[in-house]
Chain A
Amino acid sequence: MLKTPLYDIHLALGAKIAPFGGWFMPIQYQGILAEHAHTRRAVSVFDICHMGEFLLEADPVLSGLERVITQNITSMLSGSCRYGFMLNAQAGILDDLVVYRINENKWMLVVNAATALNDYEHLKINLSGQYLLQNVSDKTGKLDVQGPQSLDVLKDIFGVRIEGLGYYRFSDFVFEGEHCIVSRTGYTGELGFEIYISSEHVAKLWEVLLKDGRVRPAGLGSRDTLRLEMGYPLYGQDLDINHTPLSAGFGRFIDFSKEFIGKDVLFKEQKSGPEEHLVCFKADCRRAPRHGFAIFDKDRRVGTVTSGSFSPSLSVGIGMGYVDYSYDIGANLVVKDGLAEIPVKIVKKPFLTKTSL
């Protein structure tokens, strides 16, 4: 089990620590509900150092990078980010990732912690010709600063230039003489930024952020409830090798006009329609659907919950899961586990529409 450079700081803050994706991570400090509310209302900082980062120098077409990622990356502007997937030949999702185009032939790929090593191998196998791929995860610290006041806080640290960053754009900044990358991206549904800085300097940045009275630390517990309220998927739960991006409802992150690994299978699936699809549902009570619970239409099993929680913003249970393709928005179903039966209705995502994003 690995520890981020901030592990001792989390312990000193009284965090509850638990394993996640091979790492000991802070789940909560004050409490999940308080951290969730503070992120929606003000601004929180999350230690996301566990995530994987690769630096790649490569021509997108000649190296085969374009074939590895479902999104078109050749059309990206330098200084922009794009969300997409890496698939296997059966179109199963190996990982979801964010591609940063640093310049014409230089890229940063941000991948999930638990999948980073496999992703790295997948890239090595599928890239060819002249390229330089480095797994810089160990050297790279990452802090997410999220919430309606995040821009005000970061302006004080990085200067007013940060105001010019559009959504899914990034730029280089300097913090105490140290180079960092800041993107206007996140996983909470609020206005927010993700900061990449060397792992030696990440503790200093964390300290400076927490000295700002507006900022509080938030753990992976609230990160999960925040992302779920937005209908954002979590790899390993809502996305995995047994599902395709089409069945997960992310067709807009696939460029069918180019060649990529898994395209043939996806193309067929697009024509025939997926057998099941990922939907969001809302309970009629505070009881939470949970990962692995069965989804029923009367007596017939029609799906499985992949993520579920109490929604702090809506005060009811919410969740995501795969159901037969015939069930769509408005359908009334029942989530069951043992004695618990939770009536749910399939709803449009996101659960929360009025945020600072």
Chain B
Amino acid sequence: MSIPKNLLYTKDHEWVRIEGKVAYVGITDHAQHSLGDITFVELPKIGEEIKQASYCSTVESVKAASEVFAPLSGKVLSINTELSAHPELINQSPYEKGYFFTMEFSNEAEKANLMAADGYEIYIEGISK
């Protein structure tokens, strides 16, 4: 299971990559693997204000629909429009081509609620036992 070092992670298996004031958001390799083939994704609207740990997207696999929660609070800057026709990018490239959206995050302190790669690795080992 791939867990890149340069990302931060949530307990709900979202990742965030911070580049200055902008954050890229997606779901982890572990999440895409447990969901199976992803067939549909509903992303937030550009300009929408989202709140840490609150609902921001829906991802559907053949078997089920799951909610995705915002890893940080802030404003959505752009969405990955490729995903509407090619949601399989989330399976194929969860950390790059399969990102969900970018956001401008508003509260630096919220980063303390996220896990670093090593913490997330221990966390998923714990839940898969």
Expressed in whole angstroms, the Cα–Cα distance for A340 and B63 within the complex equals: 16
Q: Per-residue 0/1 for A186-205: is the Cβ within 8 Å of any B Cβ (1 yes, 0 no)?
A: 00000000000000000000
**Contact B36–A288 (Cβ < 8 Å):** no
Interface residues on B, range: 10 to 19
Q: Provided the pairs A286-B87, A287-B42, A288-B65 are in contact, do residues A310 and B36 lie with their beta carbons within 8 angstroms?
A: no
Partner of A285, one of B37, B40, B63: B40
Main secondary structure of the interface of A (DSSP, over half): mixed
The interface stretch among A26-34, A75-83, A114-122, A206-214 is A26-34
Give 6 A-B pairs besides A31-B36, A288-B60 with Cβ atoms closer than 8 angstroms.
A32-B63, A33-B37, A288-B65, A290-B64, A310-B62, A340-B42
A residues with CB within 8 A of B: 16, 27-28, 31-34, 221, 225, 285-288, 290, 309-310, 312, 317, 340
B39 contacts the other chain (CB 8 A)? yes
Q: Per-residue 0/1 for B59-83: is the Cβ within 8 Å of any A Cβ (1 yes, 0 no)?
A: 0101111000000000000000000
Q: In angstroms, how far is the closest chain A Cβ from the Cβ of B86?
A: 10
25 interchain pairs, CB-CB under 8 A: A16-B36, A28-B36, A31-B37, A32-B36, A32-B62, A32-B63, A33-B37, A33-B62, A34-B37, A221-B36, A221-B62, A285-B40, A286-B39, A286-B60, A286-B87, A287-B42, A288-B39, A288-B40, A288-B60, A309-B62, A310-B39, A310-B40, A310-B60, A310-B62, A317-B40
B58 contacts the other chain (CB 8 A)? yes
Which residues of chain B are within 8 angstroms of A310 by Cβ–Cβ distance? 39-40, 60, 62
* Nearest B residue (CB) for A288: B60
B residues with CB within 8 A of A: 36-37, 39-40, 42, 58, 60, 62-65, 84, 87-88
Q: In angstroms, how far is the closest chain B Cβ from the Cβ of A223?
A: 12
Q: Give the one of A16, A31, A32, A286 with max B CB within 10 A.
A: A286
Which residues of chain A are within 8 angstroms of B60 by Cβ–Cβ distance? 286-288, 310
Please provide the 4 A-B residue pairs with the shortest distance between their CB atoms, ordered closest to farther: A310-B39, A286-B40, A33-B37, A32-B62
- How many pairs of A and B residues are in contact by the CB < 8 Å rule? 45
Which residues of chain B are within 8 angstroms of A340 by Cβ–Cβ distance? 42, 58, 65
**Contact B62–A287 (Cβ < 8 Å):** no
**Contact A287–B37 (Cβ < 8 Å):** no
Which residues of chain A are within 8 angstroms of B62 by Cβ–Cβ distance? 32-33, 221, 225, 288, 309-310, 312
* Nearest A residue (CB) for B63: A221
Expressed in whole angstroms, the Cα–Cα distance for A78 and B87 within the complex equals: 50
Q: Give the one of B37, B64, B87 with max A CB within 10 A.
A: B37
Q: Provided the pairs A310-B60, A340-B58 are in contact, do residues A290 and B65 lie with their beta carbons within 8 angstroms?
A: yes
Which residues of chain A are within 8 angstroms of B65 by Cβ–Cβ distance? 288, 290, 340
Which residues of chain B are within 8 angstroms of A286 by Cβ–Cβ distance? 39-40, 60, 84, 87
Expressed in whole angstroms, the Cα–Cα distance for A22 and B93 within the complex equals: 36
Expressed in whole angstroms, the Cα–Cα distance for A340 and B57 within the complex equals: 11
Which residues of chain A are within 8 angstroms of B42 by Cβ–Cβ distance? 287, 340
* Nearest A residue (CB) for B37: A33
Which residues of chain A are within 8 angstroms of B88 by Cβ–Cβ distance? 33
**Contact B37–A32 (Cβ < 8 Å):** yes
* Nearest B residue (CB) for A283: B40
Q: Give the one of B40, B64, B84, B88 with max A CB within 10 A.
A: B40
* Nearest A residue (CB) for B91: A31
